[in-house]
Amino acid sequence: MDIDALIELLQQEVKSLTRYLAMEDYENSVADAIRETGWRPPFSTDFRAYWIKQRAKRHIFFYLMSESAHKFKFEQINLQHRFEHYYKLIQTMDTAFMEAKEEFPDEFVDADNISAMFGSKIDAGFSYSPAGEDTTYFDDNFVSHT
């Protein structure tokens, strides 16, 4: 799935909310989702296509929530409910995304960035000769990482 197909799918899925959104909103939401996940298009697996779409929708809802934040309450008419609904929806989407990251950590790490998954090892700086002699404070101190 490429970016144009993703934007078209987003427009179909948010349905009537499209009238509140500009094309830049869709482009920005996809860009935010790409920055958040670290994935680059095309999104070749179903897993990545699904989650990039979900994160883009989450950013769209955040844009709508931000726009609704200025709504006010007048007598018994509550216009802030729209804001609260977006907020709850975003919380639910963020929770589902965090669960997916914990359940499928391998999907969120590219092969060129494997240290993001396993971390890196830093030795304490002690070195020993093959005979077991402490060579830490010798001038030719070399700590073997093998």
Judge whether residue 56 has pLDDT over 60. Answer: yes
Which domain range does residue 7 map to? 3-116
127: in domain: no
51 within a domain of the structure (yes/no): yes
Instruction: Flag whether 16 is in a domain.
Output: yes
- Read off the pLDDT of residues 103-114 as tens digits, 9 standing for 90 and up: 988 787 765 555
Q: Which residue has the higher pLDDT, 129 or 46?
A: 46
Q: Enter the tokens of residue 30.
A: 């996809």
Residue 61 lies in a domain: yes
The neighbour count for residue 133, using CB atoms within 10 Å, is 9
Asked whether residue 95 carries a pLDDT value surpassing 90, the answer given is yes
81 touches 106 (CB < 8 A): no
Give pTM, 2 decimals: 0.63
Q: Does residue 139 lie within any of the structural domains? A: no
Phi then psi for residue 74, to 5 deg, are -125, 115
Domain assignment present for 106:
yes
* Structure token digits, residue 120: 């890196």
Residue 129 lies in a domain: no
Tokens of 124: 């304490």
Residues ≥6 apart with Cβ < 8 Å to 136: 125, 126, 127, 128
**Is 128 part of any domain?**
no
User: What's the structural domain count of the chain?
Assistant: 1
